[in-house]
Amino acid sequence: MTVMLEREIKLRFADPADARAAIVKAGATPIRGRRFQEDCLLDDASEQLRRRRCVLRIRIDQGKSLLTFKGPVQPSPMKLREEIETVVGDGDALRHLFEELGFAVWFRYQKYREEFAYGDVLIALDETPIGTFVEIEGGEQGITEMARALGRSAADYIVDSYRTLFSRYREEHELAATDMLFDEA
């Protein structure tokens, strides 16, 4: 189990090739190749976690499952929140266990992700059904420096979750889909 304070931003890019080129030009080193991820957010019927602005997530990534709890976002120019994460053996069994305890999946989202490292930051290139994003996670100075190296400033920072971004996208494009899935967006 890992408990940490997660600090991150997202930046929007026109497409994966532009994002990848900018990341490599900035000097980042590839550490994990492109792969498919599916995330499920869970909550109980009273929406206890959402009311507390917290997240309970199961992520399936290349057959590996991660269980993550994220606390409320704290005041900061970057997205800052407590994160507790652990690897679990069987994500489907874990989801079923949570369902038996009164939790249900309320939002699913998919992406293709590849990761890079530079100094104390992890850079994730995410191809989602609603566009291409680069997530930079790490120390505040490292995030600021990498954003600058990518040609961006604090005015370009996106601190919204993929769920919030999808909700806006849904409204703008008048979509009926409730989940951010490649075959529905």
Domain ranges of the chain: 2-173
pLDDT for position 183:
85
Residue 184 in this model has a pLDDT that exceeds 70: no
Residue 43, both tokens:
């909550």
List, for residues 34-78, the tens digit of each pLDDT value. Answer: 999 999 999 999 999 999 999 999 999 988 999 999 999 998 889
Domain 2-173 = CATH 2.40.320.10: yes
Would you say 166 and 184 are in contact if contact means Cβ atoms under 8 Å apart?
no
List, for residues 95-146, the tens digit of each pLDDT value. Answer: 999 999 999 999 999 999 999 999 999 999 999 999 999 999 999 999 999 9
Average pLDDT over residues 159-175: 95
CA distances 17 to 23, 80, 81, 118, 155, Å, are: 10, 28, 30, 19, 23
**DSSP code per residue over 74-116:** BSSSSEEEEEEEEEES-HHHHHHHHHHTTEEEEEEEEEEEEEE
What's the pTM?
A: 0.92
CB atoms near residue 22 (< 10 Å):
19
